[in-house]
Structure 1
Amino acid sequence: MAAERILVISPNWIGDAVMAQPLLQLLRQRYPASPIDVLAPPSAAPVWRQMAEVSDVLETPFRHGALQLKERWRYARMLRRRGYARSYVLPNTIKYALIPWLAGIRHRVGYKGESRYGLVNVMHHDDVPPRPMVPFYAALADEPSAPLRKDVPRPRLSVSEEQMRAACGKAGVPAGVPLVVFAPGAEFGSAKRWPPEHFAALAAQVLAQLPDARIALLGGPKDAPVCEEVQAAAGTAAASIHNLAGRTKLDEAVALIGQAAAVVSNDSGLLHVASALNRPVIAIYGPTDPDHAPPFSDIAAALSLRLECSPCRQRECPLGHHLCMRQLEPQSVWQTLQPMLQPAAR
């Protein structure tokens, strides 16, 4: 008899998808013979493909925010034919919980979310205040009544040497030189962005210590303008800065991060990619809580001024001064980054 398949329905955000990866590690331990498939939006699918536990990644055809009930019914019929026995619904919305219910999957695990009684029949309830994201998702591997785990594994991604070589070649990064990755964007809003001139000043300090190094600015198309500001403010250092925002696919960005000597990032999806690849990483927090979604690399630093007004969790600074980011000086970040780069300087 063939092992029963497991379906995991992905969150929409890249960072959340990465932070959900320990759930798959725990499911693999609990159901070692069961293939684990992931249903993910195209924007997050490349991250799931870098997880060893995933058998197949199915990309959702649905528009963001749309119910599309007829389309979900058709898709559920396809899922029914694949023979899933268990599903884990990670988004908190009703429309994603509809899919495994329509597909007739017996065990439908998830959080209450939008009062999803019946659609989710193994229901978990979040604590108040909310838990950090990694244990939040990992708890779904256990029964709702089980005590919270104290030994949740860290998120884990992997990239091959071939992927890294190909990504560096396409990006024009010379082989054998130290690569430092900056992620100056943030999908949530401008409040989460460390100022471009601060990133530019940090780039100058990196290149002063490592003249042969290259700096890659990564992000999506929406991050391209802020990355252009970084490069424009870098002066003579701009020649060693590759602005790749919006010019690389996500799988290529993941491979470039895998090659990096260190990564400096705002609180964004690429931060969690770097952490799951176990790269040395500096995470910069302003309006968000560094304890809610911290980096987990062996070498990692979460920098936050922890001002009285933060974490406000707002897309734009409600006070108009953005001091939580502006007052975090480049020199302070450099003091943390410099020892991370010492192996690359040898």
Structure 2
Amino acid sequence: MVIRIPNWLGDALMATPVYYNLCQKEKIYLFGPSPIVNLFKFFPNTEILYYEKGNTKKNLEILKPFKKEIGLLLTNSFSSAWLFFRAGIQERWGYAKDFRSFLLTRAIKPPRQKIHQRDYYLYLLKALGLPYEYKELLLPLDEKIVEMAKAFLKELKDKPFVIIAPGAAYGPAKMWPKEYYKELASNLVKKGFTVIVVGSLKEKEVGAFIKDGKKEIYNFCGKTNLNEVAGIFSLAKAVISNDSGLMHLAAALKVPQIAIFGSTDPEKTGPLNKKAIVLKANLSCSPCFKRTCKYEHYNCLKSISPKEVLEALEKLIS
């Protein structure tokens, strides 16, 4: 079975129960963007295929040997179904969305009720008569990944560390203020922790702002790939983040975590982790699901103080 995984890190991680349920029964091929799909190469009975955005010719070549496989689309887009159709994959299964039903050999109507994104993916398996019993997020890591992370962190000399992930690809309405993260990081240092800031190159300046020259704070933004970040997460005392892909990475690795929510809804995309504490302000305008605050005050985020986050963390790891 060829599985077109979601394009976003968080969604791809919330779909990990799908990969696990299916790889227990047969060999699966996970097809998705290279930085994300590489995270899943340690699933059993699984092979990785690289999707290249904008390169239809290359993608068709990659899919050519799998015409007799079932193609399962976890993406909702017309373009992903069109690609599987053009590649000649005989069975194309997925949700009836984005006017693509005529391209699918089995088109499933999406659930009407509000459910968690993880359950949205599992609902598809159930509707298709595929195994869906396993529901936990998970991410198998090879020991080499963990050893690589330890080598990366050798300067810390085994000191306990807390990870801060200040980014969110969706937009500012999901991002706790950088000034709050800076204050939190400073207070964590006072409590005896080393702090590691992680993210992409986009967060490099924010990481430098949070570090503010303190030797106990490390800015790794833009310096690691996702597999390295996963290894570092697995060794952390805790992870503090916005509602982001890295939040779901912490959840899949069962790392103690604080998740700060603004414009989005924890009931739909909250961390599925028994070691998670979700912090959210109950405002009348939230969740709005907007990228930016239409009132321009971002009170849903600003009303969650660094002190509140620190107290939640102490409760979590005490």
2:73 alignment partner in structure 1:
89
Report the TM-score when normalising by structure 2.
0.92
The farther-off stretch of 164-173 and 95-104 is 164-173
> Alpha-carbon deviation of 1:89?
0.8
Report the TM-score when normalising by structure 1.
0.85
Change in CA separation of 1:311 and 1:95 when aligned onto 2, cut-off 3 Å: same
Counting matched residue pairs gives 318
> Alpha-carbon deviation of 1:201?
2.0
The separation in 1 between residues aligned to 2:262 and 2:44, in whole angstroms, is: 34
1:300 alignment partner in structure 2:
276
Secondary structure at the counterpart of residue 44 of structure 1: helix
CA deviation profile, 1:136-174 (whole Å, cap 9, x unmatched)? 011222235x7xx7x651110122443223224235542
Contact 2:243 2:259 in 1 (8 A): yes
Secondary structure at the counterpart of residue 202 of structure 1: helix
Contact 2:111 2:120 in 1 (8 A): no
Change in CA separation of 1:336 and 1:84 when aligned onto 2, cut-off 3 Å: farther
> Alpha-carbon deviation of 1:122?
1.3
1:335 alignment partner in structure 2:
311
2:49 alignment partner in structure 1:
58
> Alpha-carbon deviation of 1:204?
2.6
Secondary structure at the counterpart of residue 242 of structure 1: strand
CA deviation profile, 1:34-55 (whole Å, cap 9, x unmatched)? 21111111231222224x2452
> Alpha-carbon deviation of 1:334?
1.1
> Alpha-carbon deviation of 1:84?
4.4
Contact 2:74 2:94 in 1 (8 A): yes
Extract unaligned runs of 5+ from structure 1: 1-5
The separation in 1 between residues aligned to 2:165 and 2:247, in whole angstroms, is: 8
1:22 alignment partner in structure 2:
17
Q: How does 1:1-346 map to 2 (within 5 A)?
A: 6-29=1-24, 32=25, 34-50=26-42, 52-53=43-44, 55-63=46-54, 71=57, 75-82=59-66, 84-144=68-128, 153-171=135-153, 173-209=155-191, 211=192, 213-232=193-212, 238-342=214-318
Extract unaligned runs of 5+ from structure 2: none
Change in CA separation of 1:84 and 1:39 when aligned onto 2, cut-off 3 Å: farther
Contact 1:27 1:141 in 2 (8 A): no
The farther-off stretch of 280-289 and 295-304 is 295-304
For residue 59 of structure 1, what is the amino acid of its counterpart? Y
The separation in 1 between residues aligned to 2:156 and 2:147, in whole angstroms, is: 10
For residue 139 of structure 1, what is the amino acid of its counterpart? Y
CA deviation profile, 1:120-148 (whole Å, cap 9, x unmatched)? 2211222334421001011222235x7xx
For residue 41 of structure 1, what is the amino acid of its counterpart? P
Contact 1:38 1:54 in 2 (8 A): no
Change in CA separation of 1:162 and 1:76 when aligned onto 2, cut-off 3 Å: closer
Secondary structure at the counterpart of residue 268 of structure 2: coil
Secondary structure at the counterpart of residue 102 of structure 2: coil
Secondary structure at the counterpart of residue 8 of structure 1: strand
Change in CA separation of 1:81 and 1:158 when aligned onto 2, cut-off 3 Å: closer
CA RMSD of aligned residues (A): 2.2
For residue 5 of structure 2, what is the amino acid of its counterpart? S
The separation in 1 between residues aligned to 2:221 and 2:66, in whole angstroms, is: 37
The separation in 2 between residues aligned to 1:54 and 1:334, in whole angstroms, is: 41
The separation in 2 between residues aligned to 1:174 and 1:91, in whole angstroms, is: 40
Contact 1:286 1:306 in 2 (8 A): no
The separation in 1 between residues aligned to 2:45 and 2:116, in whole angstroms, is: 23
> Alpha-carbon deviation of 1:325?
0.7
The separation in 1 between residues aligned to 2:288 and 2:53, in whole angstroms, is: 32
The separation in 1 between residues aligned to 2:82 and 2:260, in whole angstroms, is: 37
The separation in 2 between residues aligned to 1:46 and 1:193, in whole angstroms, is: 26
Secondary structure at the counterpart of residue 283 of structure 1: strand
The separation in 1 between residues aligned to 2:231 and 2:61, in whole angstroms, is: 35
> Alpha-carbon deviation of 1:27?
1.8
1:3 alignment partner in structure 2:
none
Identity %: 29
Contact 2:66 2:89 in 1 (8 A): no
Contact 1:36 1:55 in 2 (8 A): yes
For residue 230 of structure 1, what is the amino acid of its counterpart? I
The separation in 2 between residues aligned to 1:265 and 1:84, in whole angstroms, is: 42
The separation in 1 between residues aligned to 2:30 and 2:294, in whole angstroms, is: 38
The separation in 2 between residues aligned to 1:24 and 1:140, in whole angstroms, is: 13
